[in-house]
Every structure is written in structure tokens, then in C-alpha cells.
Structure 1
């Protein structure tokens, strides 16, 4: 089995509103899978259904090769950890005491607590009341609870939300290390393009409840191939010269856009314009940013 999570035609309807529509996710084993989309796109709803916290309107969910249903839910969750929305904690208890409650509920040996506190770098704050923790420390405490029992799958919903830049960097590095260090598969959601780009190996993009892209991050980067923009004093004649020499181009504003060319090829075609006495004003290389690609995919600017 190469995919640890798969969904087929997954839908969730609230009243007349379709929150998730015909979602076909494939989360490969042993990667960080970035689940990216604008706020309200259906990310949290999808994660809740994957964990059995919300019942799908239709469609199927398979985790660890088992269908997520009433019969399999507990056996699936034994090998999964999660942090959905805000972390829960008892403010009057210490960090360690909060994790003791979770370890008891999970049936995990108490010595696991110190191990996960070290992973999330809270070992020096374990005897401090959780109510006195900073937001970043509370997020890490929630992650520590999810890591108890060494789960095979970790589902994290916006784990960097509200953190300062240092906290974001720390959380990002921690998440990035989990597959390699502990063999975990991590599914992490975010509305922040920059976050997902720096954490994920594979990516799924959701917009208005529908999956608009799913593949490796490399494939997404390949969509941003370069083009050459040429501006001349007579674009109509220049376009005819390019096409006569086998180069298809299109107009965009005051420029002609050519496909990516080798330097020698471009130099040859520019010389053809000079031979035709067509004045060349500007030649520049253009490359779509990931932000521009996401706007094309979702129709919405994804936060940087």
C-alpha cells in the first residue's frame, strides 16, 4: 500500500450548502502532505471526516487500508494522532499533567510523556501550568499529545496559526523532521502558501470544497515554466516573423509571449527581427510565481 489515506467522491453537505464535493485525496505513506486552500475551503471539514469526527454525506474514506466506519474507527485512531483547530488543555494543570491524562486515555506508558516533551522542546517547561504557556507553547503541547503512542499518521489542522515568526519556523522544522525521524506520515493544512511550500513533499489544493490540484510539489513548480516576453515597435509584423520561423507566440498587452528558448535560439530569432528592420524595445524572461499559479487554480489569492 503506497497511500496511507484515500478518499473517493467524498462529500459533506450542511443544509443546502456543499462544504466538500467529490474529493479524491491520495496521501502517500511517509511524506508531509500539505493540504492548502483559502479559509473556508473545506480543509477542517475534510480532516474531521478522515478522523471519523464528522460523518460524510456520501463517498468513502480509507485509512491504513481500512474503510473509516463505525467498526474500524477505533482501530484506525489507535495509530493516528491529531491536532484539529485549537489545542485543548487544562489551564490549571502543568504540561506534564495534561499529557498524563492523554497517555492514560490512550493507554500509553507514562515514560512516553518525557519523550514527546523532548521532541516538541518543552522538557524545560513541563512543570509549568499550561495556562501560563505562550500560544506557541500551547500549540507544541497539543502536538506532544498527538505524538503520544508514536502514531503512524499525524493530522494537523493549521498548526502554525497565530504563531510569531520564530514559532512558525520552529513548528515547521519539527513537522518536516517527523517522517524521516519517526517514519510518520503527516497531513498538515494551511492557508499559507509559503508554509506549505517549505514543509510539504506532496500537496493537495482545495477551493470551494473541490480538489483543484494534487501531486508532488515538484510537479507544481514545473507549472511555473519560463516564457520570453518581447516588445517591439511593430508587434504585428514581429509576430508574423516568429511564426514564419516556426515559433508560435501570443499577444499579452504590449508584449509578444514566446515559449522558453535556449539562449542561442532566442538570439537567432531576435536577429531575424533586426533583419526585417523591426525595432526591438525590450526582451525579458517571465516566470509564473506559485502565487499566480494558485490564483489560476482557485480564483483566490492564497496568503503568503
Structure 2
């Protein structure tokens, strides 16, 4: 479990993530820049992908330098190395909107972890196409928004969702068993900042009733997959997966109950890693610095 760092007596605790074409000297240049600005590196991870030729890095550093000064220096460095980068305060809660339908286990788990385990998110709203989750949202003091969805109102419902994202300054959307397919336009608009939990060990058993499909095939492992959402159904970049061993004695109902526990675990880890800036996109894959 991570502890929020934010600001310390030694300065602000920053987290820097970056990616660029791989070449010699990147780590030296980044570390040198941070040292020049009085930074003390407390964590550093990097990976060079031989398949794509890209280099990925995540650095946590304590420094008293002003943000605009550090960002200006990073902008100059990025020009030299063709970098894409992001700087944020380590441990800052990410403003998060959770979407669900009727199943409560994933929403309940995220809200509980936010309150009890320093999960670095701030759930600013729950949006649902049903009203089954309203009592749970009220229990945690989270504003609830009922946005019904039908074939005729789908576009209007997505417009309302985007209004809420803008009004509430939402940085991350989590589909916590939200049983609606999002449009390609919405997926593109929220690209890289919308996470789904799929109650199946993708790419197997997509779509509806995956546990029944799994039971029919006599699987020995069931699982769940947390992934970024794209326009291709259940095929976005995978962030985390988890499994549970089962056997022939288990019923479909058993698989559903076991699966819900797997789902909440996988989703919580994916949300934490995203909020801690540990996930970097590498094409249709992810690099996860755990």
C-alpha cells in the first residue's frame, strides 16, 4: 500500500513519467536535470522495449523547485530526445468518476479502499443507468447521477457523461461493471483515461455471461481483466489480470461468486497503478512499473 507523499519538509515529491525513442544517454540526462534542480531521486524504473524501440521511465523525486521551472527544463530536454512526458505530485488523489449498473462489489471495493487504504483517487461521482447503486453511493457520501440508456437515448446519455467529466474536472473514468457498450467517439475522447473491469480472463469468453461460457467449457481457471477502453470491445491495452483455480464441482453460481472477488482485486490494482502513474501505453500493450 502506498502512502500519500505530496509535500514533505524537503520539498514536493514529484512523479515523472516519460517515453521516447530508445538511445544512449536518456537516464543520464534525466537524472542530471533533476540533480541540477536540487532533486533527490527516491525511486526510478525504466524499460527499453526491443520490439517497438521505445524507452519508458518513471521517476519519483523530492525537490523544492517551483513546478513551472521544472516543467520548463523538462520541455527543453523533451525536444532533444523526442519525449512524451508527464509531471505530477506523487500521491495526489486523481479525480475519478465511477460508472456501474447493478452489481455493487467493484464500486464498494474502490470506495472502501479510497477511505481505508489511501487508494489515491477522489471519487467525485457515481453514474449509473440503473438506481440499484444509489444507496451505496449515499453511504459513502458520493454524488449519484442516474443516466438511463436506451437505443434511442444512448447519444444523449454519453453527452451527459461528458458534461459531468468536464463539470467535475474528472481525470479518470472507471467502468465498475457498467453493462453498456460505449461508442467509438466516446472511447476516443477518453482514450487512456477510462478503465474497464471485464469479468473474464481476456481474450477468452468475451461479451455476455462469460462465467456461463467458462463453465460450459469446463475451465480450470477463471479470471478477470482490467484494461483501458477502446472502440474494439474488450480489446483495449491490458493493465492487470487475476485468476482463481476451480474444478468440475463448481457451479455457475460458484464461479460468479469467486469471480466477483477476482474482479474487485484486479480492478483495484489497475486503478491504483494508473493513479500512481505506473502505467505507460506502448501501442496496444502497457508497461506497468509496479
Q: For this structure pair, what is the TM-score category when the shorter chain's length is used for normalisation?
A: under 0.3
Q: Which has the higher helix share?
A: 1
State the structure with bigger RCO (CA 8 A, min sep 6), 1 or 2.
1
Question: TM-score under structure 2 normalisation?
Answer: 0.25
Question: TM-score under structure 1 normalisation?
Answer: 0.24
Structure number with larger C-alpha Rg = 1
